[in-house]
């Protein structure tokens, strides 16, 4: 019975992901079939019955809401996904940047308040009964994973793998990559991160949030920023277990078609990642290869041309008239 339920969940999630892909029109129609071809993903959804499946379905639903400019609804769904699995927080930094770009300060605050309210309501029974245990365990960021199950860093010696120094170095790499992509890629057309924040601060001081100056984000910019931000977190994750493949598999075709690579190389990278995730148990060679493939994809995303993130007001009005 549970497998039937997860089978339906797989179909629902796939449908939401297809909506995201079709709204962005980045990946060619024939490449959408790649979303259905992962043996490991089928195992995660239909055989293993992991809660990651529910978390990622809600995450994709929230992303679809953002594409329809339903930011408050999307934040509520996003918060629900976080309550299931904390890996969803990997999307939080790029999401916050998009919110600041797309909404005024009151909108950002109200959307965050709605997300916080969801967390409070869901955790209320535990907060009232065991508040300290709930806060310390529900948001435990210092957990040490078992080296045997690591898919991405199996080639690292176990003493180094479990060390605090290794964890800190990955955290620093994560933050550096996020800042670099934010400054040089996601805020490039605003003059960089500092100029963007400065302009938003000036707008806040002037209370200049009129509809005439409001800019609509392109759907491609929303999805690219979210998927790349999550992928950076995946690359710097201390350990990836087999079910964690669901955290970013559905973004892989999109990310690959965002690179300047030829189609053949994109397919090779996709197949290579899939092969690495199907090696059981993982070994030093498969994990090292997976890391190399991730780095190649990240380099492709970094070297890709940066497109203007906003929809032209005139084009937006014409699009609204057509509807």
Sequence length of the chain is 323
> Which pLDDT band, with edges at 50, 70 and 90, does 211 fall under?
very low
Cα 284 from Cα 117, distance rounded (Å) = 44
Q: pLDDT tens for residues 292-313? A: 999 999 999 999 998 899 987 5
Strand partners, 311: 216
Q: What is the dihedral of CA 274, 275, 281, 285, to 10 degrees?
A: -120
Cα–Cα distance, 95 to 101 (Å, whole number): 10
Domain ranges of the chain: 2-322
Tell me, what's the pLDDT at 157?
Answer: 92
Note the pLDDT tens digit of each residue in 113-167. Answer: 999 999 999 988 888 888 888 777 776 666 777 888 899 999 999 999 989 999 9
**DSSP structural state of residue 190:** G
β-partners of residue 217 are 310
Asked if residue 123 lies in contact with residue 84, where contact means CB atoms within 8 angstroms, the answer is no
Average pLDDT, the chain: 90
Q: Which of the 8 DSSP states describes residue 139? A: T
E strands, the chain, in order: 216-217, 310-311
216 phi and psi angles, rounded to 5 deg: -95, 130
Buried b (16+ CB within 10 A) or exposed e, 68-105: eeebebbbbbbbbbbbbbebbbbbebbbebbbebbbbe
Contacts of 119 (CB under 8 A, 6+ apart): 79, 82, 83
Residue 202: its pLDDT value, please?
Answer: 74
Q: What gap in Å lies between CA 151 and CA 266, rounded to an integer? A: 21
C-alpha to C-alpha distances, 224 to 24, 35, 79, 91, nearest whole angstrom: 9, 17, 20, 11
The answer to whether 6 and 56 have CB atoms below 8 angstroms apart is no
pLDDT tens digits, residue range 232-246? 999 999 899 999 999
DSSP string, 218-285: PHHHHHHHHHHHHHHHHHT-S---GGGGGGTGGGHHHHHHTSS--HHHHHHHHHHHHHHHT-SS--HH
């Amino acid at each position: 019975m549970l497998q039937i339920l997860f089978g339906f969940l797989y179909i629902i999630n796939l449908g939401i992901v297809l909506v995201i892909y079709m709204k962005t029109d980045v990946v060619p129609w024939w490449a959408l079939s790649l979303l259905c071809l992962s043996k490991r993903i089928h195992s995660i959804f239909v055989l293993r019955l992991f809660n990651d499946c529910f978390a990622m379905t809600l995450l994709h639903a929230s992303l679809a809401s953002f594409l329809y400019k339903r930011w408050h609804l999307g934040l509520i769904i996003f918060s629900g996904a976080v309550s299931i699995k904390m890996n969803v927080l990997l999307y939080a930094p790029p999401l916050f940047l998009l919110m600041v770009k797309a909404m005024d300060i009151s909108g950002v605050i109200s959307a965050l308040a709605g997300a916080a309210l969801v967390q409070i309501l869901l955790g209320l029974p535990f907060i009232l009964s065991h508040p300290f245990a709930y806060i310390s365990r529900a948001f435990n960021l210092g957990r040490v994973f078992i080296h045997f199950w690591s898919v991405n860093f199996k080639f690292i010696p176990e003493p180094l793998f479990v060390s605090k120094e290794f964890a800190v170095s990955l955290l620093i790499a994560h933050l550096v990559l996020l800042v670099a992509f934010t400054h040089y890629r996601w805020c490039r057309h605003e003059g960089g991160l500092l100029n963007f924040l400065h302009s938003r601060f000036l707008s806040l001081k002037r209370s200049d949030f009129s509809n005439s100056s409001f800019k609509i984000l392109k759907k491609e910019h929303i999805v690219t920023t979210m998927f790349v931000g999550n992928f950076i977190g995946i690359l710097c994750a201390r350990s990836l277990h087999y079910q964690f493949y669901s955290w970013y598999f559905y973004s892989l075709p999109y990310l690959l078609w965002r690179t300047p690579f030829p189609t053949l190389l994109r397919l090779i990278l996709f197949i290579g990642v899939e092969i690495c995730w199907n090696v059981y148990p993982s070994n030093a060679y498969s994990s090292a290869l997976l890391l190399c493939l991730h780095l190649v994809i990240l380099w492709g995303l970094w070297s890709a041309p940066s497109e203007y993130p906003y929809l032209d007001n005139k084009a937006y009005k014409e699009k609204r008239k057509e509807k």
